[in-house]
Amino acid sequence: MNPPLLAAPALLPALCLFPAMAGAWWLQRRLGNAGWVDVVWTLALGTAGVVATLGAGQGARAWLVAALVAAWALRLGGYILARTRGTPEDARYAQFRRDWGAAFQRRMFGFLMIQAAAAALLLVPMVLAAASPRPLGWPDALAVLVLLAAVLGEGVADRQLHRFRARPGNHGRVCQLGLWGWSRHPNYFFEWLHWLAYPLFALGADHGWLALLGPALMYWLLVHVSGIPPLEAQMLRSRGDAYRAYQRRVSAFIPLPPGNQP
């Protein structure tokens, strides 16, 4: 395997993710709000990504990838921080708390260690993107456009949802504003899109195909594990038939024109 993946500058940031998520467990236990773990996960992965890319790559490519990783982490981490601070616990974690009962803290710790392992795997695409020996060219320009479009799209979706929730008359209703009328989870779609940039950066790297691990893993997590399934289960409990009608009309993930969904 390409040495940068196994070298200390790339390996040590991955190992540091586990104590970071142990700290997230302690923080959520102290504050009584598990939503803080998402803040820690995003910022820890972003920090590890910057360190790993600068350690594995050289020159302008490494600095470009590191800057884009930092921009992604600061935008998303800052938004989650603002959403979490002074607000009730995220509905997914609140449901975990009810479902797990007295075992919540024990199971939460194991869940966060799994998140740390997933974050460590997500460092692989970042490292390969920075380590490619190919001179900067059109694939990198396309990668920058994909990443910036993803960060912008996710930011727009987040602002539209925040604006909808801020209106008292919308309490208990389903957001169908803007991008939310084309996808039930446009923020998740654009988060996944961001990970497609790293395989483009990694073209020409030894074992560069491993950069596809990022979008593949993130798609699986968002669509089948910790993203859409628990969130939609909660929305069906709280919104009922209104959300079922929304499910029939609007695509779950990829933004598509509204209509009857298969």
pLDDT (tens digit, 9 = 90+) per residue, 118-152? 999 999 999 999 988 889 999 999 999 999 999 99
CA torsion sign, 134 to 120 to 115 to 155? negative
pLDDT of 8 over the 70 cut: no
Note whether 31 and 84 are within 8 A (CB): no
pLDDT average, residue stretch 36-55 = 95
Q: What does DSSP assign to residue 255? A: -
Name the pLDDT band for 91 (thresholds 50, 70, 90).
confident
Checking if the pLDDT of 2 tops 70, the result is no
- pLDDT for position 86: 77
Task: Return the pLDDT at 262.
Answer: 53
Task: Check residue 5 and give its pLDDT.
Answer: 53
The chain-wide mean pLDDT, for the chain, equals 91
Is 90 exceeded by the pLDDT of residue 208?
A: no
Please tell me which residue, 201 or 56, carries the higher pLDDT value.
Answer: 201
CB 147 within 8 A of CB 191: no
Selected residue with higher pLDDT from 3 and 191: 191
pLDDT recorded at residue 55:
87
Cα-Cα-Cα-Cα dihedral sign, residues 195, 73, 65, 20: negative
| The one-letter amino acid at 196 | L
Q: Which of the four pLDDT bands, split at 50, 70 and 90, describes residue 181?
A: very high
Amino acid 9: pLDDT: 59
DSSP 71-109: HHHHHHHHHHHHHHTTSPPPHHHHHHHHHHGGGHHHHHH
Helix axes 138-166, 186-194, angle to 10 degrees: 160
- The helix/strand count (H/E) of the chain reads as 12, 0
Take residue 49 and report the two structure tokens written for it: 């990504």
Q: First CA to last CA across the chain, in angstroms?
A: 42
Q: Which two tokens stand for residue 169?
A: 């008359």
Mean pLDDT to the nearest integer, 217-237: 93
Of the candidates 188, 221, 215, the residue with the CA atom closest to the CA atom of residue 202: 215
More confident residue, 247 or 91: 247
> How high is the pLDDT of residue 236?
94
**pLDDT for 56:** 83
Phi, psi of 13 (to 5 degrees): -60, -35
Q: Largest Cα–Cα distance in the chain? A: 57
Mean pLDDT to the nearest integer, 100-120: 95
Give the Cα-Cα-Cα angle 127, 128, 134 (nearest 5 degrees): 125
pLDDT value of residue 18: 96
